[in-house]
Structure formats: C-alpha cells, structure tokens
Amino acid sequence: MTDYESAWIANIETNVYRDGTFENITVGYSANNGWDFSLSLLNTQVLGNHKHFQGETFVNIAKTFAINYDFAITIR
C-alpha cells in the first residue's frame, strides 16, 4: 500500500442486479513493514427477495518483500 507510513483502507462496492442489490465491503490496514491485513464481506444482499447469496467473509494477510526499486513479491 505505502512505503513510508502505515495506512487504513476501506472500500464499499454496490452491485445492482435484477433480483437484488449486493454489497462488497473491505476494511484493511497496511503497515509500513510490508504486512497487510484486511477483512472482506462479499456478496451480502441488502435489497431484493432472491436470497440465494448470504454473503462470504474473508480474512486476508499478506507480506510484501522488495526485491529492488522496481520489483516486489507479495505472499498471501
């Protein structure tokens, strides 16, 4: 996310379909030592009668290793 300081991130995405409206919500923290942590709630239905999708919860942890100024590898 950033090279010099840590940062909080948040993202909300709304998907409107014929049978319902769904939200994808992600909140995360990117530390300045190459670690990233996030929590995502995906396909959570907020409107509509068609309740096939009940949503999924994901926790993501990643570590980025800088190879040189132009390249890095991220392991999740």
In a domain, 37, yes or no: yes
- What is residue 21's predicted lDDT score, i.e. its pLDDT? 87
Task: State pTM to two decimals.
Answer: 0.71
> Would residue 21 count as lying in a domain?
yes
Domain that holds residue 29: 7-65
pLDDT of res. 34:
87
For every residue of 3-66, DSSP letters joined together read SSS-EEEEEEEEEEETTEEEEEEEEEEE-TTSEEEEEEEEEEEEE-S------EEEEEEEEEEE
- Number of domains into which the chain is organized: 1
Q: Which residue has the higher pLDDT, 57 or 1?
A: 57
Q: In 3D, which of 67, 70, 58, 65 has the Cα closest to residue 35?
A: 65
In a domain, 75, yes or no: no
Residue-wise pLDDT tens digits, 3-49: 567 899 999 999 898 878 889 999 999 988 889 999 999 888 888 77
